[in-house]
Every structure is written in structure tokens, then in C-alpha cells.
Amino acid sequence: MNYDLYKSPSNGSSIALSRRRRYRKNRRRHQLRFLMIVIILSLMIFALFNVFSTFSSKHKKNIPVEKHPNNSLTVQDDQVLDADTSESVSDQPEEENIGGNDYSALVPMSETVDTSYFDDAVFIGDSRTEGFMLFTGLSNATAYTHKGLMVDTVFTNPVVNVGGKKISVMEALKKTSFSKVYIMLGINETGWPYSNLFIQKYGEIIDEIKNINPEAIIYVQSILPVSQKVSSSHSYVKNTKISEYNLLIQQMAEEKEIYYINSAESVATTDGYLPEEAASDGIHLKKDYCYKWLEYLKTHTANAK
Amino acid sequence: MKKYLYTVVFVFMILTLSACGAENTKINIEELSADLISNVEFADEMTLINEKTVESLYNINYAISQQVYISSGATAEEVAVFELKDGNDADKALDAVNQRIETQKQDFKTYIPEEIPKLENAIVKKVGQYVIVCISDGDEVNEIINSYIE
């Protein structure tokens, strides 16, 4: 047996094999080194970017916020509204408590109730009541309010979202647990030609609420006045019409044995107008005046002990 | 092998750089909203509302923080800036914001139709985990917002 002849090819292939192995080893080492360099580079880019963004955000923080010279908007942090932190209104008219169950009279001034008094209350109204609820942050009460809501659309317009479905205010009321109802409606109806139609529809709302919950305390509020400017220039929103409606609402309250609250008194000037500074458009109250209104409701309750 | 490696490296770098981008944007929402309120022209007085009221208007109760200013009802003007947990929550909030604007359009269509153009031209932006809304007539809105996100 020629041993050399037998061995020589084997020797050649083993050398080639070890070369290939060394080559692969080297290549793997190179690849690993390359990958490490790339990862390190990426991390450096990431770090540099973060340093840069931190620097630029700090730089932005130092830019002073310029106030618009012609802008009277008030935007301080302490303006976050909370019903519990509102100051009491000192210019409330002094009245004697003549007993909460006299339907023939206005609900008189009474002891101030806590905000929790409204826990079981439902507020029904138009955009002004909507603003009242939003600005006073009276989130413990239920609000069935809508822009342009009227004594007839309370029954018909699907404006309340209940479980993803829109239903009318009166339908929503049937699904609600409540002990008190506060209503203010009428300003959008001042363009109606017949006042008796307005009060008839208003009366139907009261009857329906009594059907839904005979034990509920029902408060109807006087319609808040508008500013002198609006009253003299608007085509139909006039304080004379508002006063006429308020008289009808008070009479209806007496007939139906429910409570009438003269909320208008909380915001009106001595000559019966809404002060110019109370609303930018002479109709929708700013937050300060919403608080005056809330304080009035807290000091004019039918069953305050 | 090399091609594969380059692809992996390229993807890695792209991911690294994108992580440095939108998701990492930090916006001081108090400053941005105050800047908008002060420097954009609004017809009505704008009032900052509390968290619960924001929830009732926008149906967003999952924001880390928010600054929302509303009008008295005389206009449809509004400024809202939300900071969310991440981009997914921001997408959810963006839907809620668009829903709110749609509802306002329906409400103002018959109530004060003059306000509809403001709602039609509402500025709504999602930047990383933030959602920014400004409903006004002002021209400076984009410029102000961009100065906080660039």
C-alpha cells in the first residue's frame, strides 16, 4: 500500500479546510467588529440628538410669551374653574325667608346650601345654561342643555347623548334619577309671535316632569336679561319681551304649584339690563357672572333647613 | 451576507433616528395654549375649564394633561391641547377631537351659522403624543404651533 500516495491528498484537503476555517473565523470577526461600530455610531447619534433637543427645548422655554396689545383675554392658571372655590357674592338682595313652600311668591333668600345640593338636580336650558354648567364646573349635577333649546324642542329634538344614542331632553329625563329640576328657557322663543303659545308649551314641560317624578322639586327660573345694546338693536331679543315672558312664567309657577326663582336678579343692573361687561355679545354670560348666578341658586332654595 | 448585514444596520439606524423624532417631542402645553390665547385674535373671552368639564365636552378621560379654553357660547372659538401617553392614545384623542368639531358644526349650523367657517377651518394637529386644536379666525395659529414643535 502506498501510504504516501494515500495520505498526500488527505493532507492537502486538511490544509485547505483549515484555511477556509481561518478565513471564515476572520470574516465573522470582521463582521462582528463592523456591527459593533455601527451600533456605537447609532448610539452616539441618538445621544447627540437628545442633547440637541434638550438644549433647543430649554432655549424655547426662555422665549417670553408676548401679550397681544389689543387682547383683553385673561388666561392665568388660577382661572381653572371650580364651583367649590368660588367666592360668595356680597351684593345679594337681602330678603326675609318667608318659607319655602309658598308657590305664590318668589323663592326667597335662604341659607346657603352646599354644592352637594345639586347632586340630584337636573338643569334644563339653552346655551346660557350650557355656559353656566361648563363655567361653574358643576359636574355633580346633570345637564340637559343645548344651544337654541326651546320649550317645544325639549320634546322633539334629539340633543342628549344617552349610551351613544341621541334622544330628546324629555326622553332623557325619563331615564334619569333626579329629585330637583332647574329650568331656564325662553330667550330663543322671544321671536315667537304668540306669548300664550310659549307659556302653553312651557306648561306642558312641567306637566310631563310631574308625570315622570311627582315628588321632584321643580324650579323655573326667570329668563336673564340681555344688555341694553342687544335689547335696542336685536331684531327680536328685547328685554320688554323677556319681562313679559317672566311674568307669564311666574304666573304659571303659581298655578302649577312649582317654584319660581328670579335668577335674573343675580346678574341684572338696577334698570334691568345685563351689564355690558357680563357678556361679550350681551347675551352669553362670562364665568364671573355664571358664579353670581350659581351663588344666587345656592341662596334661594325651597327646602333649605 | 454583507447585503443582509447592511439591511439590518440600515433598518436599525432608521428606527433609532425615528425614535428621536415625533414620539420624543416635548411640548409645554401650558405655554403653548397660553401663547395661542394671547396672540391669536378671538372675538370672545376665552376661559380655561377644568378636567371634568373637558371630559364632558371631548369624551377624553385618558389624557396625561390638558389645557382647554372655551368661549361663553357667543362663538365656536376654542383652544385645546392634550398630552397623551403615546401615539396610539393620540390617534384616539384625534378622533374624539374631530367628533367634537362635527358636533359643534351641527349645533352652530342653525344657532349661529356665521361661526361655521371657523369650525370648517379649525386647525387640528397630532404631533407625537400631543393633539392640538385651535378654532379661530386667526392667521398666526400655525406659526405659533410650529414654533413649539420644530
Interatomic CA distance for residues A84 and A112, integer angstroms: 13
Measure the CA dihedral A9/A13/A19/A25, to 10°: -160
* Residue A290, H or E segment: helix A287-298
Chain A residues with CB-CB distance to B40 below 8 A: 68
Mean pLDDT on A204-213 = 98
At A204, give phi and psi (nearest 5°): -65, -35
What is the distance between the alpha carbons of residues A136 and A291, in angstroms, rounded to a whole number?
6
Residues of B in contact with A66 (CB under 8 A): 38-39
- Compare CB distances from A68 to B1, B38, B70 and report the shortest one's residue: B38
pTM, whole model, 2 decimals? 0.74
pLDDT-derived band of residue A278, with 50, 70 and 90 as boundaries?
very high
Asked if the Cβ–Cβ distance from B74 to A280 is below 8 Å, we say yes
Question: What fold does the segment set A77-298 form as a domain?
Answer: Rossmann fold (3.40.50)
Please list every residue in chain B whose beta carbon sits closer than 8 Å to the beta carbon of residue A61.
28, 31
* Distance of alpha carbon B147 from alpha carbon B79, whole angstroms: 17
| Chain centroid to CA A145 | 11
Listed by start position, the domains of chain A span: 1-63, 77-298
Distance CA B65, CA B84 (A): 7
As a whole number of angstroms, the distance between CA A30 and CA A22 comes to 12
Give the pLDDT confidence of A98-155 residue by residue, as tens digits: 344 556 567 888 899 999 999 999 999 999 999 999 999 999 999 999 999 999 999 9
The pLDDT-based confidence of A91 (bands split at 50, 70, 90) is very low
Pairing type for strands A165-167 and A160-162 reads: antiparallel
CA angle A19, A25, A28 (to 5 degrees): 140
Position B10 scores a pLDDT of 63
How far apart are the CA of B36 and the nearest CA of chain A, in angstroms? 9
Q: Check residue A22 and give its pLDDT.
A: 76
Nearest chain A alpha carbon to B68:
A80
Answer whether A77 sits within 8 Å of B48, measured CB to CB. Answer: yes
The ipTM value here is 0.82
Q: In this complex, do A66 and B39 lie within 8 Å of one another by their Cβ atoms?
A: yes
CA-based R_g, chain B, Å: 18
Closest Cα to residue B50, out of B61, B35, B39, B34?
B61
Nearest CA in chain B to A77: B48
Chain A residue closest to B76 (CA)? A147
- Other beta carbons within 10 angstroms of residue B66's beta carbon come to 21
pLDDT in tens, B118-141: 999 999 999 999 999 999 998 899
Chain A closest-CA separation from residue B137 CA (Å): 14
Closest Cβ–Cβ partner in A45, A65, A280 for B44: A280
Q: Quick check: B38 and A64 in contact, CB under 8 A?
A: no
Closest CA–CA distance from residue A210 to any residue of chain B (Å) = 28
Q: How far apart are CA A215 and CA B47, in angstroms?
A: 37
Q: At what angle do helices A3-61 and B2-19 cross, to 10 degrees?
A: 20
